[in-house]
């Protein structure tokens, strides 16, 4: 039996689009912070047949199929014959509300599988395998501030993920403001693919990412909050603008999302160090120093359904066998 855990991450320069779906190669790089509070725990056991349980219940068929395909890929890349496997995976955060993240899931699954198959490989190779399951999962292999460099090689040989700075480098918080309890959205894979094939703004979006990466990387190294705030909100808005211009339009936001954007911007304009970012869903994540969390809670409380606070987290790790 092998158990691994991994944390989710929040992208501050977004990944939105692939240059190769088969190899899951991103069209551009991305930069994120790994979040300690949002954790996936995944256990693998040899079984009589492949089974996948999610939070103790049999997982939906598409989910189970994606997990099995990833186990096949990991086994094939390591050159091992894999047995049937019983996978148990659970998140310590609500999955139904669309807060679930494939990032922590595929990072934990990849590390658990490699370990279960008797291998130990460097983090950069783990990240490469995790990326095949889900692009954002590559970043959750590492803790703290992480950059995925998209590279240009058509086989992805120069696509790499690395840690820019350890979790303690900069003590910020990510306040997750959930704006709805249910409602399934267009998932990220489908959303980015529809954007790439139908949005006239997709090319401009991809072309804008490298400059944002340079800016965000510098802001992180210098712990320059205002500089990071500016580039992160810009990257988020441009990603969503490209998706909104898809055909049919992909609009992830609800009224509360927009209300929170306005409130966070007003709060920053009033001199508070806060900025927002939004992924492929209606929830808003606010980045701020620890002593701003209470004010963020106050400004959001009447329009949200749930609030979670996460600090910079460590990378994926094996917890069993200890």
Q: Specify the residue, 2 or 42, whose C-beta has the smaller distance to ligand DP6.
A: 42
Choose, by CB under 6 A, the member of 136, 160, 208, 235 that binds ligand DP6.
136
**CA separation for the pair 205, 30 (Å, rounded):** 13
- Return the residues of window 276-305 that contact ligand DP6 according to CB under 6 A: 279-280
List, in sequence order, every residue forming a beta bridge with 318; answer none if it has no partner: 4
Residue 288: CB minimum distance to ligand DP6, A? 20
Asked whether 131 and 152 are in contact (CB, 8 A), the reply is no
Contact between 195 and ligand DP6 by CB under 6 A: the answer reads no
Site residue total, ligand DP6 (CB under 6 A): 14
Residue 30: CB minimum distance to ligand DP6, A? 4
Stretch that binds ligand DP6, among 114-122, 132-140, 169-177, 200-208 (CB under 6 A): 132-140
Using alpha carbons only, what angle is made at residue 154 by residues 148 and 157, rounded to the nearest 5 degrees? 55
Could you give the C-alpha distances from 227 to 81, 145, 207, 219, in angstroms and in order? 49, 15, 20, 6
Asked whether 190 and 266 are in contact (CB, 8 A), the reply is no
Q: Specify the residue, 41 or 101, whose C-beta has the smaller distance to ligand DP6.
A: 101
Contact between 24 and ligand DP6 by CB under 6 A: the answer reads yes
Asked whether 315 and 167 are in contact (CB, 8 A), the reply is no
Residue with tokens 């993240």: 101
Residue 294: CB minimum distance to ligand DP6, A? 27
Contact between 8 and ligand DP6 by CB under 6 A: the answer reads no
Using alpha carbons only, what angle is made at residue 140 by residues 139 and 142, rounded to the nearest 5 degrees? 80
Return the beta strands (E) in 51-195 as ranges.
Answer: 51-54, 57-58, 85-91, 145-149, 160-165, 173-178
Residue 320: CB minimum distance to ligand DP6, A? 26
Contact between 188 and ligand DP6 by CB under 6 A: the answer reads yes
Contact between 189 and ligand DP6 by CB under 6 A: the answer reads yes
Contact between 104 and ligand DP6 by CB under 6 A: the answer reads no
Contact between 132 and ligand DP6 by CB under 6 A: the answer reads no
Choose, by CB under 6 A, the member of 30, 43, 115, 277 that binds ligand DP6.
30
Q: First and final CA of the chain: distance in angstroms? A: 11
Contact between 102 and ligand DP6 by CB under 6 A: the answer reads yes
Stretch that binds ligand DP6, among 49-57, 134-142, 171-179, 226-234 (CB under 6 A): 134-142
Contact between 91 and ligand DP6 by CB under 6 A: the answer reads no
Q: Which is nearest to 16 in space by CA: 222, 272, 156, 191?
A: 191
**CA separation for the pair 105, 52 (Å, rounded):** 13
Task: Name the residues that contact ligand DP6, by CB under 6 A.
Answer: 11, 14-16, 24, 30, 102, 134-136, 188-189, 279-280
């Amino acid at each position: 039996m092998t158990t691994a855990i991994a944390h989710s991450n929040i992208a501050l320069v977004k990944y939105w689009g692939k240059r190769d779906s088969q190899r899951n190669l991103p069209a551009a790089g991305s930069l994120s912070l790994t979040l300690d509070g949002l954790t996936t725990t995944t256990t693998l056991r040899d079984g009589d047949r492949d089974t996948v349980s999610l939070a103790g219940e049999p997982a939906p068929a598409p989910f189970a199929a994606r997990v099995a395909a990833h186990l096949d890929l990991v086994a094939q890349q390591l050159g091992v014959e894999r047995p049937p496997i019983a996978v148990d995976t659970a998140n310590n955060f609500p999955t139904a509300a669309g807060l679930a993240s494939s990032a922590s899931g595929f990072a934990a699954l990849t590390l658990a599988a490699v370990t279960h198959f008797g291998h130990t490989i460097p983090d950069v190779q783990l990240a490469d395998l995790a990326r095949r399951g889900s692009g954002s999962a590559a970043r959750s292999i590492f803790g703290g501030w992480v950059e995925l460099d998209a590279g240009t090689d058509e086989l992805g040989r120069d696509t790499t993920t690395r840690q820019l700075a350890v979790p303690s480098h900069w003590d910020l918080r990510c306040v997750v403001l959930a704006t709805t309890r249910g409602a399934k959205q267009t998932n990220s894979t489908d959303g980015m693919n529809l954007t790439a094939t139908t949005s006239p703004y997709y090319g401009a979006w991809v072309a804008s990412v490298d400059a944002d990466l340079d800016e965000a990387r510098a802001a992180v190294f210098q712990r320059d909050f205002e500089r990071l705030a500016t580039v992160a909100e810009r990257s988020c808005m441009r990603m969503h603008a490209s998706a909104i211009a898809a055909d049919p339009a992909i609009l992830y936001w609800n009224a509360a999302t927009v209300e929170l954007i306005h409130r966070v911007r007003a709060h920053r304009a009033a001199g508070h160090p806060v900025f927002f970012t939004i992924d492929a869903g209606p929830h808003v994540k606010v980045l701020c120093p620890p002593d701003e969390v209470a004010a963020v809670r106050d400004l959001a409380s009447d329009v949200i359904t749930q609030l979670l606070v996460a600090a910079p987290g460590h990378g994926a790790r094996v917890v069993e066998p200890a």
